[in-house]
Each structure stands twice: as structure tokens, then as C-alpha cells.
Structure 1
Amino acid sequence: MTSSDLWDADTAEHYDERAAEKFAPDVLDPTVAFLAALAEGGPALEFAVGTGRVAVPLAARGVAVSGIELSQPMVDQLRRKASTEELPVVVGDMATTRMPGRFSLVYVVWNSIGNLRTQEEQVQCFRNAARHLSPGGRFVIELGVPGIRRFPPGQAAVPFAVTDQHVGFDIFDMVTQQGTSHHYHRLDDGTARYGRSNFRYIWPAECDLMARLAGLTLEQRVADWTGEPFTSESESHVSVWRKPLDAADED
């Protein structure tokens, strides 16, 4: 049982279109290059692989990529781009589901670890990553830094997107670290479509503690896939933890 929202067939069918900005070369190319370098020629496993936004171009770079994905409809969309032989996927949650084999790299992108909405599941996600890693392998996450410093007293939400086509805002519960993203998309006929997703936000220091509990050590933290320095003003981070070379494999 997982606390994650389960994305349905309609969401999966329109996912690539609605996330078009994340497919742009200036976003995707640095992501793939960063991950390919960390894989160092070894196999990679993506948690929450989705429709293969990152996994498919990473595999095209010569990395043997596998995936774990909770939503079967998302996997169905991925299958339009890559076969089972080209990109194996196991359907299940990223906290407990196992993919056969050991990997040089395990990664989860675009805030997806927050889809696990309890601290315990997030801790288990780090442990699951460690179980999949070969000694010396790396676990990478891309995660936003909660924008709660922008909240004046009494404000309940903070915008993260305001364009002619898309207005989005997050609501945060400061006690439970639960959040909800609200999206309003303008359609071509002038009507609007509403969508929402739930998450639990994690502070970078909390991520480091989860990694330590899983036996992983922080190797680097940067603000984005281009390697910009992470500072107190950064709104996101890409963090890399490494499994010790002398670590014993876990079943």
C-alpha cells in the first residue's frame, strides 16, 4: 500500500503534452548528460520512470536503463517509445518494489520522491535505492526547496507558475509537511482544465539523514542539472549520495 496519488489513463495520455516544458532541450539535455556521466557506463534504474521523459534519451546515450513505475497507464505510454527489451519496467511503488539486478545509478527526478507522502515511505525509498546499488553506486534526486519563506502571515498558498496558459500554486501544511499543487491550464477553446497532486516536501538536510539511515554518503549537491552552486537562495537541488565501496550487497 502506498500513499502516492495514482495517475490514471487520462493523465498518462496527456502527460507529455502538459509537461512540454520539461521536454525542452535546455532542460532535458543537461539532465541526461549529468546522469550519464554518473552512471560511468553501468546500468541505471529510474524510480517513478513515468512515460520515459528521462529514461528514453538516457538509454539512447548507451546507458542500460530500467524503471519502476506505480501507474500502469504511464508505462503504457512509455511503451510507445521503448519496448520491454529496450527499457524493462516493473509496476509498483518506489519504496518497496524490486527490480532484478544491481545498478551503478538509481535516480528519481522532478520532485517525484515527494509523491510518497509519509516520512517512513520516503526513508524506505532511500533504503530501496541502496538495496539496488552496487558498491560505489550513486543515488540521485532532483527536488525543489519549499518556498515557504515567501509566505506572509496568513497566506495559505504560493504560486509556482503564472503564464497565459498555466497558473499553478502550492498549499503547504507547515506541521505535517504535506502539500498540494493546484494547476489551471487554459485550453485552446478558451475553457480551463483543473488538476491537483499531493506530496510531502523534504528539506535537503532531511534527505541527508534519510540517506545516512540507508548507509549512503553525500557526494555532491548542486542547484540544478547544469551544476550551478547550491546556496541559501536556491529553489531546487540535485543531490548525489554514494554507497560505500566496501558495503555488503542487500537482498
Structure 2
Amino acid sequence: MLEVILLVFFRIVFFIAFSPVLSSRTFPAVLKVALAIFLTIISLSTISITSLPELTWGVTFLFLLLKEMMLGFAMGFIGQLMFTAVEIAGQLIDFQVGFSMAQVYDTTFQISGSQYGKLNYWLATCVFFITNLHHQLIRGIVESFILVPVGTVTFPGVTIEGIVKVFSQTIEMAVNLAAPIVIALLVIDLILGILARTVPQINLLLLSLPLKTGVSFFFALLLLPNIASFLNKILPTSIQFIQEMLHSFS
């Protein structure tokens, strides 16, 4: 029984450690441990102990424990990919505006984050909780023990193809999210280029920075409802990706 509890606990712990929002450094570590214990107790009620293979201490058990940790990591990482997409979109916008040199240290993730990337991340977090996706995420980790029982985790070859597909869709979503503002800024660059050829006396360096910043702010506010609607469509796909991965394992 102790072996089963450890396998369940480590899958949930690694899922929480890499899942969206829950893995944030602002989320207290005590609450993470309490949530892991609570989900372990709930998940144990869905497991049929008699149907599990015989588990004994040793190298084989450590190997099973490693596979459970890898499955928890994979589920959390796939759930985090949609938030990574919105941050990539923000970095694309920052690069076009000229905010790349104005990146600040983000204490939440211990990295230097872009301005629009942080804006998109917190907007995605709001949509994540408003649409109750955190409930579906937690339900997914509990139901994973029904689709992929403990001690039976295997990594089929189709998983690699699925990971490549998920990464390609993540980049596609990031480009789609950043495209409206980036296109508007490219038009501004085109206009400034024409002005530079027709009126060389204009100091375009002093003109372009505030102009592109103002245009980016204007379009960000103008497209805010559309961005929220787009996030409402793409964030649930992370749950879908997790379910598809679990079905491939089962």
C-alpha cells in the first residue's frame, strides 16, 4: 500500500511543480504540499488496489517511480505551454515596439520577462480562473489514474509525434496572438521609412520610439476584448492536449 501511495504522490507533486499557475513562486509552498496530499487522498479512492501489479521495493520500484514523475512532469508541462505561447506573443510585440532592452527581472519566474509578455500572462491567468479551467486541470490529474493506472506507465512512439504537434501549435498560437499589433507596427515602420526618404531632415529615432509605443498601447487596449476571447479559445486546448496524451498512454 505504501508503494502505491508514493507512486500516486510523486505523479501529483511533479504535476503541480510544472503546471500553470500552481507552479508559480507566488503560490505558497505549504499550499502546494497540502494540495498534493489532498489530491493524493482523492486519487487513492479511484484506484483499485487489487487490479495493480505486485509492487516491491528495489530497482524496479525506483524505475516505476521515475516513470510516474515523468508522466506528472509531461502533464504539467503541456498545460504550461499555452501560457508560454502568450509570453512568446508578448516578446514578439516587445521586439517590434523596441521594448526588448527594457525587460525587467520577474521575481515570479526568476527570469527577465517582457512587458507585453507579463501583460498577456496575467490576462491569461484571469481567463484561466474565470472559465474554471483550474477545476478541469485538477480533475484531469485525478482522472489520469483511471486512464493510466500507477505502475503501468509506458511511453509509446506516438508520444514524440504528439509533442512535436503540440509545440508547432504553440508557436502558431503565439504568432496569431501577436499578429494584429505586430502588423500595425510594421505599417508604422513602412510609413516612417517613406518619410525618411521624402523628408530627411526629420529625426526618425526620436519620432519612432514614442509613436510606436503609443500605437502599441492603442491597439492593445482596442483589441483587449478580442485578446481575451482568443485566450478563452486557446487555453482549453491545453486540457485537450493532456487528455490526448493520456489516451495515447492508455
> Which has a greater percent of helix?
2
TM-score range, shorter chain: under 0.3
Taking structure 2 as the reference length, the TM-score comes to 0.20
> Which has a greater percent of strand?
1
Taking structure 1 as the reference length, the TM-score comes to 0.20
Structure having the higher Rg: 2
